[in-house]
């Protein structure tokens, strides 16, 4: 591209933004004779017309996206999955404990089961509370 063409193209841009103050006969005569500059002017006109049409498009509230709402929905889905998994683990553990207790009573003495349960009821909180605090600190 010629140096003169680049200067003329800068002047074309200035003309469209109403910043060109000199006599416009020289740029106009060059644009009519130069195919590169005339093509640049047409492309500039098309792009400016396109941008003007974008400015006139009304805001459609359905297309606006609330990011905080999307993040909240994603967190809700994540929490639902986590809650389902925890519920499944709780039910499974409860069934195993209940079935093992029934089998233990059926095969052995009930006094031994009562002693084991008393031991667990008194000592299990001492183990579970530190484990729960450890779990919270990882989050």
pLDDT, block means (10 residues), the chain with 139 residues: 75 74 66 81 82 65 72 91 91 89 76 81 82 75
User: What number of CA atoms fall less than 13 Å from residue 29's CA on the CB side?
Assistant: 4
Among residues 8, 69, 80, the alpha carbon closest in space to that of 44 is found at: 8
82 and 49 within one domain: no
DSSP string, 56-91: HSPP-GGG---HHHHHHHHHHHHHHHHHHHHHHHHH
**Total tally of structural domains belonging to the chain:** 2
133 and 78 within one domain: yes
Give kind and range of the element (H or E) at residue 2.
Answer: none
Give pTM, 2 decimals: 0.37
* Structural domain range at position 98: 74-138
- Domain for residue 64, yes or no? no
């Amino acid at each position: 591209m010629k140096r003169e063409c680049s200067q003329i193209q800068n002047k074309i841009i200035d003309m469209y933004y109403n910043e060109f103050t000199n006599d416009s006969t020289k740029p106009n005569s060059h644009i009519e004779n130069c195919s590169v500059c005339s093509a640049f002017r047409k492309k500039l006109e098309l792009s400016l017309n396109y941008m003007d049409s974008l400015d006139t498009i009304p805001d459609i509230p359905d297309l606006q996206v609330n990011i905080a709402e999307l993040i909240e929905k994603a967190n809700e889905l994540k929490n639902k999955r986590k809650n389902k998994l925890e519920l499944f683990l709780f039910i499974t553990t409860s069934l195993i404990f209940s079935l093992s207790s029934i089998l233990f009573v059926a095969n052995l003495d009930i006094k031994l089961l009562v002693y084991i349960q008393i031991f667990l009821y008194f000592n299990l909180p001492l183990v579970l509370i530190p484990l729960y605090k450890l779990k919270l600190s990882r989050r």
